Amino acid sequence: MNNLFSRLACGSLLCMGMATTALAQQKIDSSYNNTYYQGRMELFNSLPLQKHAIVFLGNSITERGAWGELLPGIKVMNRGIGGDNTFGVLARLEGVVNAVPRRLFLLIGINDLSRGLPEEVILHNYDRIVGYIRQHSPKTKIYVQSVLPLYEPMTTAAYLKNKKDSIIQLNVGIRKIAAKYNLTFINLHEVFADTNGDLKKDLTIDGIHLRPEGYVVWINYLKDKKYL
C-alpha cells in the first residue's frame, strides 16, 4: 500500500488516473475531532496569543514535553495534542500561524501510521501543512522533524506493532518534503534509535512515549545543532 502510486505508475495519464482512483477508493480514516482534541483547542483558544514564540507542534509526544521548563527564559508554545494526526494539525493551523511563530518544530505522523493510512496520504497532508505555514507566516523558520522509532516489545496495542519499516519509509518522504521547501530536516530517529533501529528502551515508558530524560536528550540535540 505504501508504494501504491509507484506500483501503478506507467508514465501515462491513464495510469496516473488509475492510481488516483485506487487511492481515493481506499477507506481513509481522517477523523481527529474527538473530545480530547476539542478540550485542547478550547485551552489554546483561551490563552493569550504569544506572538513570535517558539512553537512545538504535534501529537502526544510533543504535548508531554515540558518545553517551557526545558527552555527557561524563552517564549514557548506547546501545541501538542495527544492522539492527533496530520488531518488534525491541518485543521488547526490558522491558530498557529496567527501567532507568527519565530520558529516552529513539527513532529506528526505516528498516529496516521497506526491507523494504516497510506504513506501518500500522510505525505500529501505534510506538504499541505508546510505549504500553509509558508504562505501564511513566511517569516517562521520551520523545522521538520522525523517520526521517532518505537520499542515494540513494550507496546501493547496491536496497531503499534510491525511499524518499523513504515516509519523509516515515511521519514524518507518527510525528508523529501523538507528538501522541496528548502527546510531543515531534523533526524530524531537516529537520535533515539538503538543499534537495532528501535526506540532506546531506557528512554521510553511504554514503547512510544518518552521518559522525561528523553526530552532532555531532544533539547540538547537541538541546541547542539544550533536549531535553538
Same domain, 77 and 172: yes
Cβ–Cβ under 8 Å, residues 77 and 55: yes
* Range(s) of the domain holding residue 10: 1-30
CA distance 83 to 100: 25
First to last CA, the chain: 37
Specify the DSSP class assigned to residue 47: S
- Residue 26: predicted pLDDT: 64
**What region does 142 belong to: left with phi over 0, alpha with psi -120 to 50, or beta?**
beta
Same domain, 9 and 105: no
Query: How high does pLDDT run on average in the chain?
Result: 91
- Residues 17-36: what's their mean pLDDT? 68
Tell me if residue 174 falls in helix, strand or coil: helix
- pTM comes to 0.88
Same domain, 139 and 103: yes
Going by C-alpha positions, the residue among 196, 197, 190, 198 that lies closest to residue 217 is 190
**What region does 81 belong to: left with phi over 0, alpha with psi -120 to 50, or beta?**
beta
Same domain, 131 and 176: yes
Same domain, 54 and 147: yes
- Residues 102-125: what's their mean pLDDT? 97
The CA radius of gyration of the chain, in Å to the nearest whole number, is: 18
HSE, CB side, 13 Å, CA atoms: give it for residue 160. 19
pLDDT band at 84 (very low <50, low <70, confident <90, very high): very high
Same domain, 112 and 14: no
Report whether pLDDT(24) > 70.
no
Say if residue 128 is exposed, middle or buried (CB neighbours under 10 Å; 0-12, 13-18, 19+). middle
Same domain, 21 and 83: no
